[in-house]
Amino acid sequence: MKREKKKKAYSIEIISYYTGYIIFIISSLMIIPAVVSLFFREWSAMLDFVISSSISFIFGLALTMFGLRTRESKSNVHWKHGFAVAAFSWLVLTVLCAIPYSLSGHTQSFLDACFDVMSGFTTTGLVLLQDLDHISNGLNMWRHMLTFIGGQGMIVLGLTFLVKETGGAYKMYVAEGKDIELLPNVKGTARQIWKISIVYLVIGTVVLWIIGMIIGLNPISALFHGFYIFQSAWSTGGFAPNSQNIMYYHSIMYETVSMILFILGSLNFGLHYAIWQGKRKEVVKNIETQSFFITSFTVCILALAGLSRLHIYPDAVAGFRRIIFNVLSAHTTTGFGAVYARQFINEWGDFGVLIMVIAMLIGGSACSTAGGFKGLRVGIVFKGLIMDVKKLLTSERNMKVYKFHYIKERVLDDVLIKSSAIIIICYIVIFSIGTLLGTYYGYSLSDSAFEAASVTGNVGLSGGVTTPSMPVLLKVYYIIAMYLGRLEFLTVFALIGYIIGGIKKYVKNR
């Protein structure tokens, strides 16, 4: 009997145990929107969250119990388990977190609800919810919480609550697209990520709350709007409580503070931590900030030059609020829109749209809340190119080690350049398929490319393709593209490989 107990758990049990644990944590967070609904006396919305959290709780607990032998036998978590847990949790949670959306009656189908949840988790910000101006405070809270949780990472949140460090924690953490080690242990790193975010959350919400009151919102409403917009900006999500997005506020102050917040949110947590530690020079030396500064400066100048030729905006203030804001919103993969979706396509011209597509694909920093290729990879590939040119021009006997600065000095080798280039190619493939699919359904090339870049880079700006009436296959593809883009491909590929391997094994054993 005792020997049987010590038998190592099967892989499926390990995956089930940790997935259940993460679902358990996220489902308990549904209490917050339920309390908000209770506060505003939104009874129906409150019950939606009671039902959803109970279902999630039961499901999470069932998975944990199925994999209970993992804890009992102290089974080791391998890389394949870590990747499968991350990819599987994201999928299951997308379905479970879509229940309150669906129960609210503001979605046309359950697929639309899943689309919005995936859009929130991946900090994309595209919306299929209908009649956004009449949704409950509870659901608004949930939408913005999802984007905030998704930005920092659901696994990161789960690891924060770990009682003791487990060997597999690091593998699950890396699988969610984060690899920075702020502290020697993963639990400490996860907690540090949340600490950084919570400090910014308090400061950002208070600033937006004050501005909200100055621009005419009532104090309670200003507080909630501030809280929502902060979560959206910091997570580079792009959701807003009203259908006009950031244009609802008609305020340069609100837009500027949001812009500062989403730029900060798009920076690496490692960089924030280094600055907290007093290493201010890191901002200048870091390859990612250098890359971000160069690319954002270039795209802003090009967009300003291109749009000033078309005489789209009357003056410099308009240029700042409509061009710089939107371009940086695209580049940081936030997706706050300071013009209407159709204005990008109808007024910005092909050049403007192309600049936006490039900005959206490049994205923000690695190990931040942003999406896209990431500045780090762009910087590495660019430096790699320079390295190769230099090697060609110098003597073969001259063996020089090339380095780059990313939190610390690192050696630039071919393996790193290759892995960065592979991920960039994966993004381009997903973007190309999305564009192709859009054109197949009759959307123009610029519409299709704009939307495909937006979903691939987890941005959330729309050219008007994303509507509840869009083709089902396109919705499904966009969900997959957002998911792949956020988890940076390998995690999802590992899950697919794991499932195929399992099926093969099953067929073989029959």
Give the binding site for another protein (CB under 8 A): 40, 42-45, 47, 50-51, 53-55, 57-58, 61-62, 64-65, 68, 72, 133-137, 215-218, 221, 242-244, 247-250, 252, 312-315, 317-322, 338-340, 342-343, 346-347
Residues in CB range of 69: below 8 A, 6 or more apart: 7, 9, 10, 13, 75
Nearest CA-CA partner of 234 in 320, 333, 160:
333
User: Which CB sits closer to another protein, 234 or 249?
Assistant: 249
Q: How far is the CB of 247 from another protein (least distance, A)?
A: 7
Buried b / exposed e across 164-201, counting CB within 10 Å, b at 16+?
eebebbbbbbbbbbbebbbeeebbebbbbbbebbeebb
From the CB of 133, what's the least distance to another protein, in Å?
4
244 or 444: whose CB is closer to another protein?
244
- What is the nearest approach in angstroms of another protein to the Cβ of residue 468? 13
Distance CA 451, CA 329 (A): 15
Least CB distance to another protein at residue 259 (A): 13
Rounded to a whole number of angstroms, the minimum distance from the CB of residue 174 to another protein is: 29
Residues 6+ positions from 81 with CB-CB distance below 8 Å: 11, 14, 15, 18, 168, 171
Residue 142 to residues 28, 74, 91, 99, 402, Cα–Cα distance (Å): 12, 35, 18, 11, 47
Q: Judged by CB, which is closer to another protein: 339, or 492?
A: 339
For 411, phi then psi, to 5°, come to: -85, 130
Separation between Cα atoms, residue 229 and residue 258, nearest integer Å: 7
Query: Residue 224 CB, nearest distance to another protein (Å)?
Result: 11
Contacts of 402 (CB under 8 A, 6+ apart): 383, 387, 390, 411, 412
Residue number with CB closer to another protein (64 or 458): 64
Closer to another protein by Cβ: residue 5 or 397? 5
* End-to-end Cα distance, the chain: 29
> For residues 10 and 276, which CB has a smaller minimum distance to another protein in the complex?
10
Nearer to another protein, 43 or 276 (CB): 43
In the bound complex, what is the minimum distance in angstroms from residue 139's beta carbon to another protein?
Answer: 8
